[in-house]
Structure 1
Amino acid sequence: MTDSTKSSVNKEAVETDSSRRKFLKGSLAAAGGVAAGTTILGAPYVNAQAPLVMRMQTSWPSGNVWQQFAQNYADRVEVMSGGRLRVDLLPAGAVVGAFQVMDGCNDGILDAAHSVPPYWYGKHKAASLFGTGPCYGGDAINFLAWFYQGGGDELYRELTQDVLGMNVVGMLGFPHPSQPFGWFNVEVNSVEDLRGLRYRTVGLAADLLQKMGMSVSQLPGGEIVPAMERGVIDAFEFNNPSSDRDFGAQDVSKDWYMGSYHQAAETMEYIFNRDFLEDLDDDLRAIVMHAVEAATLHNICASHDRYSRDLVGLVEEDGVTLHRTSGEILDAQLEAWTELEAELAEEDPFMEKVLASQRAWFERTAYYTLMNTGEATMERAYEHNFPGRLV
């Protein structure tokens, strides 16, 4: 499809979407007017109002665990709205590509999307700071707290609406556990072992690992295994035991390196077309927004169950060997982040503002968390109760 054809299709989709909303509102209002004092065949007229439909696409293949996590959000919206709002949930590629859902929401082709900010960092590198930025010693739950309590939500609004001029509203939800370094077809114990390896990641993690001598490609999840099979890449990361197992990571590599700072604090992203959101009745708008919080809690719990079971399956059923990423590589990642942070702050005033906000937040909040933990780490307690289990 040519760019002009795509533009025409997008324009028609936007016009159709706008007409759909106007028709729904107009027809419901008209139905309310007819209902008063009207009877049909002797029976009182009943206004069987059709539900409003929210067209939502994800960045995930239909069989991926995150598609189910998005469905958990959709289910809560429908139940909490009493059926007045129905979510038409679609997988990656159904309307737009996995990396294009932000554009789809901006253009009105989609009403909503379920994705991650690094997928649109090509628009502005600061997008990655809302998902794959420098590691300051806090985990993803602490990062989510920065978004809602430390001013991150206003910085996100400023980036999307003021800097980029996009017609969207965004929220973050479901903090990911720190992501493994990834699946490799060679042994990697030192920084030298990484040099020249062709690796898949997304966002600023690509800039980070290029600094460490890797050649990086940014690919959607559904394209990773085929790229590995064709020899286009030598190694990759995606996210977690369930997502990785769902798309067959264990079929192209048997060595998974756990622990990394390249994506230490990432969360899911919920994107909404701003007009769609503002057109909703106040109670439905509140449901759409607060369902993000409800789904986040549910998905945190679900991920602990599903991820842990799939990790056992990868090892015991699929023959995967787990490795701990070496301290040399981890230290080199932190050094590379420090260099990259300075470059980004110098490159763009908005980047500098977001980085300063995150640094100040984590200096205070991670200090509390780490001081409170001290030597009483969860690893110490686990090793006491299950000696020899950890690699």
Structure 2
Amino acid sequence: MTTRRKFLTTGALAGAASLATPAVVRAQAPIKWRMQTYAGAALGEHVVKPAVDAFNAIANGQMEIELFFADQIVPTGELFQAMQSGTIDCVQSDDDSMASPTEVTVFGGYFPLGLRYSLDVPALFTKYGLKAIWEEEYAKVGVKHISAGSWDPCHFSTKDPINSLKDLEGKRIFTFPTAGRFLTQFGVVPVTLPWEDIEVAMQTGELDGIAWSGITEVYTVGWSNVTNYFLTNNISGAWIGHFFANMDRWNEVPPHLQKLLETCFEQSHYYRQHWYWAGEADLRINGGKLQLTTIPDAEWATVEAAAQTFWDEIAAESEVKAKVVEIIKKYNDVQVKAGRPYRYT
């Protein structure tokens, strides 16, 4: 016969087992992702590590991202292929550097003279429709486009002073593929090297300069130790960078963790907005190592005019590229007509 004592004992054990079930779920192995960034370790401390650390902490053991810096798993130029195949789960890069096969690749990194300020990037993606275009193009190749954000402007940091366009002729410059393609008309010789080799290449004379960043990165990563001059003219006011993921791996992640990834990456974009903005001005004045040079506005107008021609050449390559160029033109037209502080004419 079932006694009251036996009933209570059996019920208590059953209750304890049912209460313990969530603990068993929490104890399951977390989702593991490997993520590689375009940035070396010194730069990665600012542009990506805080976001990864925040995500890992808030995910509370449900998911963990292991972060790798530039070229640690694969060379930067192979990042897309590695992500598409699943060798890497997540990537932080621009489209151009990782050799993306999409129609929008040419706009990644520094699209010549397309942007004036860092806020232009989120404005174009969220208000002018670029986000939808990027998502569609990457979905076609099995990659999730998570978000886009802005980095620093693109200036020249060189051994010798640049005071005119003529001074650029014959200079071997480490830069992005599309920027290099544009700059060849001014005599620049684009050079592609692993990110971690740039400082040594400057010391050995393999490079004459760098057109890969603003002054904040030049100081942060140590390039200010191997260059002497910083050109205040830039070929783009902001770098367009992104977070991507292998689509299958993304779809395996529960919705609440997908949202957490998006939120942490958006916070990363915000951090860079103020980190770069403050550094670009402060280090020009207080950096102490680099001497500033400037190409006069009247002469630099030649570069700006050449950029407009370059845009049209890109637009002629495909319907998607034409659509993006049209959006960039429309956006810049609005900014110019709005005047200060949006555009200084």
- The whole-number CA distance in structure 2 between the counterparts of 1:307 and 1:264 is 11
Contact 1:99/1:220, CA 8 A, preserved across alignment: no
The 3-state SS of whatever aligns with 1:199 is strand
Q: Residue in 2 aligned with 1:28?
A: none
Shift of 1:44: 5.6
Q: Residue in 2 aligned with 1:229?
A: 203
- Between 131-140 and 336-345, the greater mean CA deviation after superposition: 131-140
Structure 1 position 75 matched with structure 2 position 53: yes
Which of 260, 272, 279 lines up with 1:299 in the alignment? 272
Q: Residue in 2 aligned with 1:326?
A: 296
Structure 1 position 92 matched with structure 2 position 70: yes
Q: Residue in 2 aligned with 1:7?
A: none
| CA RMSD, 1 decimal | 2.9
> Aligned in 2, Cα 1:374/1:211: closer, same or farther, shift over 3 Å?
closer
- The whole-number CA distance in structure 2 between the counterparts of 1:122 and 1:279 is 23
Percent identical among aligned pairs is 17
> Aligned in 2, Cα 1:219/1:325: closer, same or farther, shift over 3 Å?
farther
Shift of 1:270: 0.6
- The whole-number CA distance in structure 2 between the counterparts of 1:178 and 1:259 is 10
The 3-state SS of whatever aligns with 2:242 is strand
Q: Residue in 1 aligned with 2:309?
A: 339
Contact 1:52/1:84, CA 8 A, preserved across alignment: yes
- The whole-number CA distance in structure 1 between the counterparts of 2:299 and 2:44 is 29
Q: Which letter does structure 1 place at the counterpart of 2:125?
A: F
- The whole-number CA distance in structure 2 between the counterparts of 1:334 and 1:282 is 44
Matches within 5 A, 1:1-391: 46-47=23-24, 48-62=27-41, 64-121=42-99, 123=101, 126-136=104-114, 138-162=116-140, 166-180=141-155, 182-260=156-234, 262-304=235-277, 314-315=287-288, 319-368=289-338, 370-371=339-340
The alignment covers a number of residue pairs equal to 329
- The whole-number CA distance in structure 2 between the counterparts of 1:220 and 1:346 is 31
Q: Which letter does structure 2 place at the counterpart of 1:280?
A: V
- The whole-number CA distance in structure 1 between the counterparts of 2:306 and 2:272 is 32
Contact 2:110/2:154, CA 8 A, preserved across alignment: no
- The whole-number CA distance in structure 2 between the counterparts of 1:345 and 1:214 is 23
- Between 283-292 and 299-308, the greater mean CA deviation after superposition: 299-308
Gaps of 5+ in 1: 1-35, 378-391
Shift of 1:201: 0.9
Deviations 1:9-63 (A, max 9, x none): xxxxxxxxxxxxxxxxxxxxxxxxxxx95989xx96741233222211111222x
> Aligned in 2, Cα 1:155/1:252: closer, same or farther, shift over 3 Å?
same
Q: TM-score if structure 2 supplies the norm length?
A: 0.84
Q: Residue in 1 aligned with 2:5?
A: none
- The whole-number CA distance in structure 2 between the counterparts of 1:154 and 1:373 is 24
Deviations 1:236-276 (A, max 9, x none): 1221334222433223221111231x232323311111111
- The whole-number CA distance in structure 2 between the counterparts of 1:55 and 1:207 is 32
Q: TM-score if structure 1 supplies the norm length?
A: 0.75
- The whole-number CA distance in structure 2 between the counterparts of 1:52 and 1:345 is 41
